[in-house]
Structures are given as structure tokens and as C-alpha cells.
Structure 1
Amino acid sequence: MSDVSQSRAVPTSGLDRYFGLSAHGSTVPREIRAGITTFLTMSYILFVNPQVLSTAIHVPNAFVQLLMTTAIAAAFGCLVMGLIARYPFAQAPGMGLNAFFAFTVVQGMKIPWQTALGAVFISGVLFVLLSVLGARQAIVQAIPNSLKFAITGGIGAFLAFLGLKNAGIVVANPATLVGLGSLTAAPVWLALLGLIITAVLMTRRVTGAILWGILATTVIGILTHAAVYAGGANGALRPFPGFDGSFLGIFGTPIWPSELVGQLDIGGALGLGLLSVVFTFFFVDFFDATGTLTGLSQRAGFLDENGNMPRARRLFAMDGLAAMFGSFMGTSTTTAYVESAAGIGEGGRTGITAVTVGVLFLLSMFLWPLAAAIPGAATAPALILVGALMMEGVRHVDWDDISEGLPAFLTIIAMPLTFSIANGVSLGVISYCAIKLLSGRWRQVSPILYGVAALLLIRYIWLMGG
């Protein structure tokens, strides 16, 4: 071993010993730089999550309160991941899960948002219990890779559809169900322009491309007097209200989200009729978060020769704890972010990276006046692009095997077409088990997955029975 390698392996301080800086060949400045990089790549959630959840959660000053609770939940998730699990993985309210919360559970199923938060909390409890018991790995192994990739891809398609819908690019059509919106409408052309700008920034590998794309699109909307802001006469859109020359404040004192904190209804979520909702929250985030954490660990070099990661139970438990805390604060499921890979690429290897992200989320609470200038047309491109990124794993599906390809396709296509992530997951699992069973390939399916499929069938039978 060289002298340099030996010096790296010897801790030089208590901070070094706790986080393993020398063991990972890293330094505090490098970890902080990695944390800043990760924050810039995922900070768009501060604008997008309130946009999505405010369609279902109706409280005074909803957008600002949701921005506050998003920042607090993200900060908590990052801090426990960094300080307790000691991994460089950042957490925040998850895209896709917030859409499921708002559009499927609250708006579609007419479930009060307080009860939906209770379902998120229960799913977080299940995460922690399964993580502590070590059962999480067994359940993950029961799900075939084709369905894991399809679930992520389907959520991506659902998010993209939401972005297109929110911008008015895709509209309802009585003859064909959906159609193309008016390209001359301000939200449409602004969203399309923002989509191109953000895509170019991402292609040029600009750090924080999605965030800069949102801000650039907003500035264009303000300077062009585009009618993309709510509050016009008879519900019409209007230009930015501060364009008359009045000062647009950027900094402000944080507002405590008093209308959201502690409003979750756990008792209501424990009702028999909501077991499917709890299961779906658990199921979707379980595999999304587990896949994300495993992939990030592999990229960072944390996995051993058997594919296992150190402190795995603690790592997964912190994921569940963040979901529980987030629901208490008033937001949908908090989960690990794949954007953490940006910080890992910058050399982040310890919990200091995640702690840095958490601190930056807390500081962002002082920028809440800036959020008032962000129109939905500026966040729609973020939904579309995040959706496109989530489709990446679909290429790993074995499309030549119809018993693998068809369930994956049903999972992906059903989510946007039925406007329900739950339906996509259910159709994928049920069809996978049915095709394998009836084609004589039943041994390829885990008994655990057959049990899951049976529960989903019972759910649909229950719904058909009224």
C-alpha cells in the first residue's frame, strides 16, 4: 500500500471517524461541493411539489405552506440519511407519488387529503418495520425486474401526461378523448419553449438544468406579459401581477405551515376501504426507493461482491422514517432521489453530502416569495422531462418474451390512460402472474408475488361489489 493510501485510511478527527472520510478517500470540501450539486439538481421539487399537491390540498395560502413543508420534509430526510445512515443520498417528497396522492387518491377516489396523509404515514411505518426485520430484501426479490422497470417507466409516462395536461398541450376531446391544445395559447407556447430550453441545458450537462429551466421560463413569461398566472376575470389567466414595476421580493421570513402540520388522519386510513391505498403507497414507493438506493449504492461503490450494502437496515429504515415525518408535516411520501447521482459524480461518498443538501433545503425556506412568480407553465416542462428520465429503465425489459413484455406494457400504458398509478401496478402484477401460471411457467414466479396478485384481485372484486 502506498503512503497516500495509508494516509487516506487513517482518520484524522472525530468527524473523519464518524463519516469515514479517509476510508472513502474524500474531504469535507469535496463533500460540501457534492451536496451543493445534488441540491441544484433536485431543488425544482420546491416549486413542482406545491404545484401538484395544491390541486388536492385546499388551505389558506396553500402554495406557500406546501413549499415550506416540502423544504422541511426534504431537510429532515436528508439529515437523517446523512447523520444516522451516513450515506450521501438526498431525500424529498417524491415525484409520481405526489401525483398519485393528488390526482388518484384525493381527486379520483374522493378521499380527504388528511386521510391520504394518514395512509402515507402507515406506509412509512411498514417501511421501517420491514427494514428492521430484514424482510425488505425478500419482497424485492419477489418482483421481477421487468415489472420494477415498468413501474418506474409508467410513473414517468404519468408524470409527462400531467405536464402536458397542466400546460394545455393535451386537452380533452369529446370525439377522441384527448387532443392537441391551441399552440397559440400562452401556457402552451411558454411550456414548449421551456421544455426546449431545459432539454438543451440538460444536453449540455449544466448542473441544476431543471431548476434553471424553470427560472428561465418564468422570466420569459414575465417579460413577454404572457397570460399564464391565475387570478384574471371570470377565472381567466393574466400576466404576472407585479409587472407594473412593483418590487418583486425574493427573501422573506419562513412561514410555519400550521394548516398542514399534524393534520393527518391515521384512524381514517386504517379503514378497510383504504387498505388498497395504503398498499399502493407502500408498493410503489417501496420498489422505487429500494431500486434507487440500490442503484446509487452500486454507482458509489458501496456494494460488496454479493451485492449487499453496509448498514442496509438502517439505510432503508431512514427512508421509512422520512416518509412518516413528511406525512406529519403535510406532504406526500418523502423518498430517496436519483438526482443524488449528480453529487456522487462530484465525489460525494459520505453522509456529509446529504447533510449539506438538508441545510440548503432549510435555507431555501427564506426564498419563498420567489415561488409566487413561478407559473404552472414553467413547472410543466419539469414534469415532462422527469417523466422522460424515468423511462430509461424500460430498455431493460425483455420485450421478446411476451410473458415479460405484455405485463410491463400494461403497467406503463395503464397509468396515464386510466389516470391511476395503482391501476397500472395492479394490472401489471395480475397479468404477469396469470400469464406465467397458465402458460406452464408458474415456477418462475415467487409465491410472494402470487399472494400480492391475489390481494389485488380481491381489491377489484371488492370494488365491483360496490
Structure 2
Amino acid sequence: MKNHAADLAARFNTRVATSFIGRIFRLEGSSHSKEIDGTTFLKEVRAGATTFAAMTYIIAVNASILSQTGGPCVCDETNRIDCDKIDSYVMCKEEVRRDLVTATSAIAGLASLVFGLFTNLPIALAPGMGLNAYFAFQVVGYNGSGSIPYGVALTAVFAEGLIFVFLALTGMRQWLVKLIPSTIKSATGAGIGLFLTEIGLSYGSGIGAITGGFNATPLAIAGCPVERINPDTQIRDTAVTYFPHTPEGDSRFELFRKVVSINPMKHTLNALDWNVGQHGTQFALALFTFLYVDIIDATATMFSMVRFCGVVDNRDGDFPRSTLAYCCDAISISISALFGCSPVTAFIESGAGIAEGGRTGLTAMTTGFLFLLSIVFGPIFSSVPPWATGPALILVGCMMARQITEINWRYIGDTLPSFVVIAFVPFSYSVAYGIIAGMFLYTALNLMISLTVRLSGGRLEPDNYDMKEYWTWKAPGRKPWFVRAFRNATYSAKDTHESSPQTFDSHGGLDYYLVEAPVVP
């Protein structure tokens, strides 16, 4: 029976490989000139399912984090915490959270499908951790207590996506990320990891281990002081504490009983507010931070995943169809804003699918299809409480904090700015402040050290000065495509008398149609 099933699977894989699907995704046996060794349809599907399983937590976690802003819900209380005492506002927040469950599943599905189809890379996209926390707790704030309203913040995300399209088409996105010191990149990722851990440990959006633990988690099941017992949150006939006998709890339970249902995005769909004039400075700061963190996060994740796949070109450090990949990511960011979500980014959990053998866009498309399917099971994902998503935040924070090992701890000019970034992000509760502080200190400190060394003729140097990380504004690697296109036109005008065959860029995508410049001695 086992051999028979294996034979059926092999024949099915062969049939798919020889079809147009096999040629599009360059499966082994497709007779494509650049077919990818070891790829089969069923292996790609299995890898996509693995990636989805690793990413499923984002549906509930992202909705839980973003709903803390209150979305477009209206509250006139000066102290925004008092808004939680208003039943109508609490019900509105719960509806926003359900909308965001649908929105998260929808944008993750669409983005992954488009990315896999156009780039043929096994990388899945979804609203990014870290950026959603910055969006919710710094930009918009708890119950809208931040610097700009929810709708204006979505406009910043939408504008960021359009700017990214321009940066991707001009090749400047790759160039900009190479300009940022690698130690600051690593420190930013580690700082965001600690930020997420703090959120996962906090009251309201996590397990409640820092403050208000008795109210944040159902500790009454294991034992709770009598004075802490709340009759509204005790076990009742139908469920445990997440469904208290209150209007909000009854509404949650009625939704949970449906199991299968599609929740329309009544509050978050197209909730953009274009009245950005009165929030000029804060809007610009939010836009800059989204741009900066996304440039580092998405670009670094894509590079690490394609390097894991083994498709990075050692000649210029680029990867196949990179321009299309960045464009798909950028367009998905703007679409996520229309759905009411924070920016979309490439997920590091894609590595789980790659480890299972995923090498083509079929892996990402399978993940996207499963995310779209999860929209139907919205009631289940909407019923995941904060104390269940809190541990996921802590684990994600742990994975991101591993980047701390990539920091150059041997030289003070790299160590101190990196430490400032790591410390500022969680303690200031702001990704933007951490980045600004770290970059300012890096520039000032290294400039003073460089001037001191030069003026002293090399006699005054800090310890381990020779171990500093090399940095230059001349980013290494391939030039942007428009620079190469201009050079092609220049060379063609000079060398029209020569008859040399035209060769095409092997990177494919938008770069595929650019003619390489002839070698000029």
C-alpha cells in the first residue's frame, strides 16, 4: 500500500511537472532551461503548509495588537483608559478585532499568492511583528492615545507602500539597506524583539506577568485570593473565563459557536484619513520609521531566505527577480493599509517551509491559499484570548533577539550605538526613538574617533580600533537598473560600429529585459 501511494505521488508529480504549471515554476522535469533540481509539486505544497503552520499565530496576534488602538471607534474620555469602562466602546473594539482577524488572513493570503506567482520564491508575506506593535502602541496608542489617529496612521502606511514601489523600481531600496551599518541593523532587530517580549508579558495584550496578572489571566482556575475573584469572569456552563457573562462575553460566545463564518470588515476596510495636515510632524516621523524599519526588516529577511535557498548571485549579491520581489512587497503594504492593517513584510518563518524542501513560488502560493481559507474559520481565530497570544509574542521576541549575537561587541564605536538602540526601543516604548538615538550616536561617536585618529597621526586610537566594522557610503554590489540602462544607452551610442551579440540579465523579472553593457576596456 505504501509503495502504491508513493507511485501515485510520483506519477502525479511528473504529470504536474510536464504541464504549464511545471514550466511556470521551473519544477524538475519541466524541461525549462533553468529548472530547479529536487523540486516536485507535492513537496512544494507540503512546504507551504509547513510555513502556514509556523505563521498561523499572526492571525490572532496581529488582530489582538492592532485592536488595542480602538481602530476608528470613538471615545471622548480625556483619560483613554476610561474608555474601557464604556460598554459601547468595548463592543466596538471587539468588532474591530474580528475585522482585523479577517483583514490579517486576507492580506497575508493575497500578498503570499501574488509574491509566489510573480517571483517564484518560497517566501510568505503577512503583517509584520514589530511594526504592528509600533503602529499600535506608539503611533496610534492604546485606545487612540498616541500622536496620530488610526486613519491617519493607515494613510502613512499606504504612502509608505507607494514610496517603496518607487525605491524598488529605481533600485534605491537595495542601495539604501546596504548603506545602514550592519551593527545598527542587528541592534534594531534585537530591540524590537525585546519590545515584543515586553508586550507579551504585559497586561491586556499578553499574559499579564508584569502588572495586573490576576486580571489578565484566568488564574482563578489554579487558585486565586478571594478578594481578587471577579464573579463575571468565573467558569460558567458554556466556557471558561474568556466568555464571561457580560454583553461582550456573550457576543464572543455567540461568534465562537458559529465555528465557520466570514466576518465582513465593517470598521477597518478603507478607513484611511487623508487629513494629515494637522499631524504633519508626527505623520512624517511615523512614515520615516515605517520606511526605515521596513527597509531593514523586509530586505534583510528576503536576503536571508533566498540565501537559505541557495539562489543568491555571488557576483553582485543580488537574487533572482529581486525588483519584482520588492515591488510585490511594496504593493502589498499599500493594500494592507486599505484593509486596516500595519505594513506587510516577508516572514522569517518562511524558513520552516524552505527547510521542508520548498524552493519555488508554489510554496508561497500554498501558504497564501491556506491563509485565504482561514478567513472562513474566523470565529475560531477571533476567540483566541490575549493570554494565549502572549507566549507567541515572547517566542517571536526571543527569535528576533538572537540578532544580538551579530553585533560587533569588540569595538566601542559599534558596541555603544547598538546598545543604545537595544535599550531605547523597549524602555522608551518606541522603535523610532531607539533608531534615531542609535544612528545619531553612531554618527557622532565614529566621527569624533575618526577625527582624533587622523589629527593624532594614528597615535590616539581606542581599543580594538582595527576590529571596527567596515562601512562606506559607496554601497557594494550591482548598481540600480536605471544606472545600468543609462550606461547601456551610452555604450550603444559609442559602439554602434561594433557588432556584438546582446546578452540578457539572468535575474529575470523587470531586470530581465535590460541589455547588459558590453565590456569596455
Name the TM-score class by shorter chain.
Answer: 0.7 to 0.9
What's the CA shift string for 1:323-371, capped at 9, x where partnerless? 0110111100011100000000111111111111111111101111113
Q: Give secondary structure in 2 for the equivalent of 1:335.
A: strand
Is it true that 1:18 corresponds to 2:24 in the alignment? yes
| Structural mapping, 1:162-173, within 5 Å | 162-166=199-203, 167-171=207-211
What's the CA shift string for 1:374-411, capped at 9, x where partnerless? 11111111111100010111101111211101111111
Query: 2:305, 2:238 → 1: CA distance?
Result: 41
**TM-score when normalising by structure 2:** 0.71
What's the CA shift string for 1:103-157, capped at 9, x where partnerless? 0000153311000000011111111111110111211111111111111111100
| Structural mapping, 1:27-66, within 5 Å | 27-56=40-69, 57-59=71-73, 60=92, 61-66=95-100
Q: Which residue of 1 aligns with 2:187?
A: 150
What's the CA shift string for 1:14-71, capped at 9, x where partnerless? 1111111121121111111011000000011111011000011154411111101111
Q: Which residue of 1 aligns with 2:370?
A: 360
Q: Which residue of 1 aligns with 2:118?
A: 84
Is it true that 1:122 corresponds to 2:130 in the alignment? no
Q: Which residue of 1 aligns with 2:291?
A: 282
Kept in 1, the 8 Å contact 2:102–2:375? The answer is: yes
Query: 1:228, 1:247 → 2: CA distance?
Result: 13
From 164, 177, 187, the equivalent of 2:217 is: 187
Change (3 A) 1:248 1:319: closer
Query: 2:255, 2:180 → 1: CA distance?
Result: 54
Q: Which residue of 2 aligns with 1:382?
A: 392
Q: Which residue of 2 aligns with 1:462?
A: none
Q: Which has the higher contact order (CA 8 A, sep 6+)?
A: 1
Kept in 1, the 8 Å contact 2:269–2:339? The answer is: yes
Q: Which runs of 5+ in 1 are unaligned?
A: 1-6, 172-180, 193-220, 450-466
Kept in 2, the 8 Å contact 1:168–1:188? The answer is: no
Kept in 2, the 8 Å contact 1:250–1:368? The answer is: no
| Structural mapping, 1:219-238, within 5 Å | 227=241
The one-letter code of the counterpart of 1:62 is V
The one-letter code of the counterpart of 1:272 is G
CA RMSD of aligned residues (A): 3.1
Kept in 1, the 8 Å contact 2:156–2:286? The answer is: yes
Query: 2:443, 2:125 → 1: CA distance?
Result: 33
Note the C-alpha offset of 1:285: 1.1
Note the C-alpha offset of 1:12: 2.2
Q: Give secondary structure in 2 for the equivalent of 1:124.
A: helix
Moved more, 84-93 or 271-280: 271-280
Query: 1:225, 1:419 → 2: CA distance?
Result: 35
Kept in 2, the 8 Å contact 1:125–1:320? The answer is: yes
Kept in 2, the 8 Å contact 1:222–1:240? The answer is: no
Query: 1:310, 1:190 → 2: CA distance?
Result: 55
**TM-score when normalising by structure 1:** 0.79
The one-letter code of the counterpart of 2:334 is M
Query: 1:191, 1:406 → 2: CA distance?
Result: 46
Aligned residues: 398
Query: 2:129, 2:98 → 1: CA distance?
Result: 18
Note the C-alpha offset of 1:248: 5.0
Q: Give secondary structure in 1 for the equivalent of 2:314.
A: coil
Query: 2:322, 2:347 → 1: CA distance?
Result: 17
Query: 1:334, 1:359 → 2: CA distance?
Result: 17
The one-letter code of the counterpart of 2:210 is V
Q: Percent identity?
A: 35
Change (3 A) 1:125 1:435: same
Indicate the structure (1 or 2) with the bigger Cα radius of gyration: 2
Change (3 A) 1:310 1:370: same
Change (3 A) 1:241 1:249: closer
Query: 2:255, 2:104 → 1: CA distance?
Result: 26
| Structural mapping, 1:382-461, within 5 Å | 382-440=392-450, 446=472
Q: Which residue of 2 aligns with 1:195?
A: none
Q: Which residue of 2 aligns with 1:249?
A: 257
Query: 1:287, 1:441 → 2: CA distance?
Result: 29
Kept in 2, the 8 Å contact 1:411–1:428? The answer is: yes
Moved more, 24-33 or 59-68: 59-68
Is it true that 1:335 corresponds to 2:363 in the alignment? no
The one-letter code of the counterpart of 1:143 is I
Query: 1:432, 1:260 → 2: CA distance?
Result: 39
What's the CA shift string for 1:59-97, capped at 9, x where partnerless? 441111110111111011101101112211000111111
Query: 2:405, 2:298 → 1: CA distance?
Result: 20
The one-letter code of the counterpart of 2:419 is F
Kept in 2, the 8 Å contact 1:261–1:329? The answer is: yes
Kept in 2, the 8 Å contact 1:228–1:239? The answer is: no
Query: 2:174, 2:451 → 1: CA distance?
Result: 24
Large movers: runs of 4+ above 2 Å: 10-13, 188-192, 221-233, 238-242, 246-253, 269-272, 441-449
Q: Which runs of 5+ in 2 are unaligned?
A: 1-12, 29-34, 74-91, 223-234, 455-469, 476-521
Kept in 2, the 8 Å contact 1:121–1:266? The answer is: no
From 246, 254, 272, the equivalent of 2:280 is: 272
The one-letter code of the counterpart of 2:44 is E
Kept in 2, the 8 Å contact 1:226–1:240? The answer is: no
